[in-house]
Structure 1
Amino acid sequence: MKKEVLLKLARASIAEAVGLPYPLDLDGMIQDNPWLKDEGACFVTLTTGDYDMLRGCIGSIVAHRPLYKDLIHNAKSAALNDPRFPSLTKDEFEKITVEVSILTPPQEVEYSSIDDLQSKIRVGIDGVILKHDGAHQATYLPQVWDQLPDFKSFFMHLCMKAGMGMECLAFHPQISIYQVEEYKED
């Protein structure tokens, strides 16, 4: 039930963003699913093709508004405002697969060394937020472990995403972890 509600709301929001009709009774959906009004943080990921090529991914790390508003905003942003991709077109709408990830609140990880950090990160389970000097920040959802399945490559890419060198763990950045409930269209 939750999966269908979240994916339908995301898909309807994307349709609206690209100018396609997609009937949805939002008020009725919220009335039938009051948990949508609870504060929540989510990511919306769009993929395309047989190999799930990324087509857009935008989200919130920390809950700061009702889940349904966060989902609508992030679905539209993933379709239109991911700086890595051109805006989604009407023609692409039927070709994308939508995924919604609901995040748990991030928890900072205290660590003394890279080896200590590695012992505290659960591959395939933990999403990771990396912050350094207030100028650098990046996150990877737990699903990224599917493409980068070992600690070293995962963190090298995360460091680069944050705009730092591949070996940024040497600077002891702040690391936080979170988990997700993942819902993907079949």
Structure 2
Amino acid sequence: MPPLIEEDRKTLLRVARQALEEGVCGVTELKELPHPAPALMEPRGAFVTLRKHGDLRGCIGHVQTSAPLYTTVQECAVAAALADPRFPPVMPDEAPLLHMEISVLTTPKDIAPDRIVLGEHGLIITRGWRRGLLLPQVPITWNWNREQFLEETCFKAGLPADAWKKGARIEAFTAEIFEEPPESPVHSPSQDRVPHITTH
């Protein structure tokens, strides 16, 4: 699938920001995008990450979905603000302080551990009903090597660190990652905590 053009990225950031700011004010109906570009109608997984003063404030996403991409991004923006169980809901006066990053995913595929490329691949590790996911930018932020990335994804799934060596399924995906411009209130990533992802 070809990369999103710059105009499509700007549109996704715009509709996500609008959905977030309306959602924290109690608006529950997402606005339809008039005449969306074909790429924005494709059913693709996506995550929205919110940071405040560099600290993680919410991150919610869908790995795979049948909904149009722009709708998925809208839903994830609202959910990251209001439904991430690790944080209290974002208040209306807090929304302008949040910096938004969007990750648009490719379809996950099985991968051998030695084929994982740090900074390019995100990981999903599954065993039974347990599943953990970390986005491609996470190991770069935390300066992990490949084995640490695998171990941390196992921890995210609630599995032992070595589960990836003992039969757990390893899948990889890539992501187009883009964010609001630097003039937004928050820009630099925090080193205070791993931005663990809540999947739905």
Fold conserved (TM > 0.5)? yes
| Alpha carbons 1:46, 1:54 under 8 Å: kept | yes
Q: Residue 32 and residue 66 in structure 1: after superposition, are their counterparts in 2 closer, same or farther (change >3 A)?
A: closer
Match of 1:76 in 2: 78
Q: Is the 8 A contact 1:44 1:78 kept in 2?
A: yes
1:54 and 2:60 equivalent? Answer: no
Residue type at the aligned position of 1:35: A
Find the aligned partners of 1:97 and 1:27 in 2 and give their Cα distance: 22
Q: Distance in 2 between matches of 1:130 and 1:25?
A: 34
Amino acid in the other structure paired with 1:89: M
**Offset, 1:32:** 4.8
State the partner residue of 2:120.
Answer: 125
Q: Once the 2 structures are TM-superposed, how far is the Cα of residue 53 of structure 1 from its aligned partner?
A: 1.4
- Helix, strand or coil: the match of 2:77? helix
Determine the structure 1 residue equivalent to 2:136. Answer: 142
Give the corresponding residue for 2:160.
165
Residue 27 of structure 1 aligns to a residue in which SS? coil
In the TM superposition, what whole-angstrom CA distance separates every residue of 1:16-57 from its partner, at most 9, and x where no partner exists? 111189xx97433xx0523322212111111111xx211111
Cα distance change, pair 136–88 in 1 and its aligned pair in 2 (3 A): same
Cα pair 1:159 1:167 within 8 Å, conserved:
yes
Higher relative contact order (CA 8 A, sep 6+): 2
Which of these residues, 100, 103, 118, is aligned with residue 98 of structure 1?
100
Query: Would the aligned equivalents of 2:164 and 2:170 in 1 still touch at CA under 8 Å?
Result: no
1:141-171 CA-partner distances (Å, limit 9, x unpaired): 1011223331122222211110112222232
**Structure with greater proportional helix content:** 1
Residue 32 to residue 165, structure 1, CA distance change in 2 (3 Å) = closer
User: Any residues of structure 2 matched to 1:109-120 within 5 Å, and which?
Assistant: 109=111, 111=112, 117=113, 119-120=114-115
Identical columns (%): 31
User: CA separation in 2, counterparts of 1:147 and 1:185?
Assistant: 18
- Show structure 2 runs of 5+ residues with no match: 1-6, 182-200
Report the TM-score when normalising by structure 1: 0.85
Matching residue within 8, 11, 18 for 1:2: 8
| Secondary structure, aligned partner of 1:44 | strand
Q: Mind listing any 5+ residue stretches in structure 1 that lack a counterpart?
A: 112-116
Q: 1:43, 1:71 within 8 Å by CA — same for their partners in 2?
A: yes
Residue equivalent to 1:44? 48
Residue 24 (structure 2) aligns with: 18
In the alignment, the residues of structure 1 paired with residue 167 and residue 39 of structure 2 have an alpha-carbon distance, to the nearest angstrom, of 38
Aligned partners of 1:107, 1:32: CA distance in 2, in Å?
Answer: 28
Structure 1 residue runs of 4+, over 3 Å off?
24-27
| Alpha-carbon distance between aligned partners in 2 of 1:73 and 1:12, rounded to the nearest angstrom | 11
